[in-house]
Amino acid sequence: MLFKKILVGVDGSKHAEKAAQYARGVARTQGAELMLLFCPGNIPRLIGGGAREELQKELEMAGRKVVEGYKGLCEGSDVRFRVDVRLGDPANAIIHYAEENGVDLIVLGSRGLTELEGLFLGSVTHHVLHRCDCPVLIVR
């Protein structure tokens, strides 16, 4: 199977970094484009108006800093890559991003920053694994 577009969900954790490194290797050998996506989560509905807009801007800026940290992983290599930030539920955002961009493979770390969620497998990874139509590679 030849992969043309590989999506990696990143969150700044060591598990996500390992997943990104593994995905970079697969992308290099397959000549695929690598997409790094960070999803900071939802803003509580109780927050509205100007405060909501300000919080959204802050989350997007913080997300850009997270994905900027992954640029160094790909810059200087022969892998085509892009980084993006999407607000919302991380599992849903990853699935929708994959569908919108015609992703052939999703690569995720076995756990994220919230290691208490999900006893054996991170909750985002678990949701994506069971709800996504394309192959999902989980990196330990």
| pLDDT, position 122 | 67
Count of CB atoms situated within 10 Å of the CB of 50: 8
Does position 108 have pLDDT exceeding 80, yes or no?
yes
- Tokens for 5, please give them: 């577009």
Our count of domains for the chain comes to 1
pLDDT at 140: 85
Residue range 52-66, pLDDT digits in tens:
888 888 888 888 888
Selection from 27, 37, 20, 25 nearest residue 6 by Cα: 27
How many other CB atoms sit within 10 Å of the CB of residue 80? 13
φ, ψ of residue 119 to 5 degrees: the values are -70, -45
Nearest Cα residue to 102 out of 40, 21, 11, 33? 33
Indicate the average pLDDT of the chain: 87
pLDDT digits (tens, 9 = 90+) for 87-102: 889 999 999 999 999 9
The HSE-up count of residue 78 (CA atoms within 13 Å, CB side) is 5
What confidence tens digit (pLDDT) does each residue in 5-50 have? 999 999 888 899 999 999 999 999 999 999 999 998 878 777 878 8
Encoded amino acid at 79, one letter:
V
Q: Which domain holds residue 79?
A: 5-139
pLDDT at residue 100, rounded to an integer: 97
Q: What is the CATH number of the domain that holds 43?
A: 3.40.50.620
User: Residue 83 forms beta bridges with which residues?
Assistant: 36
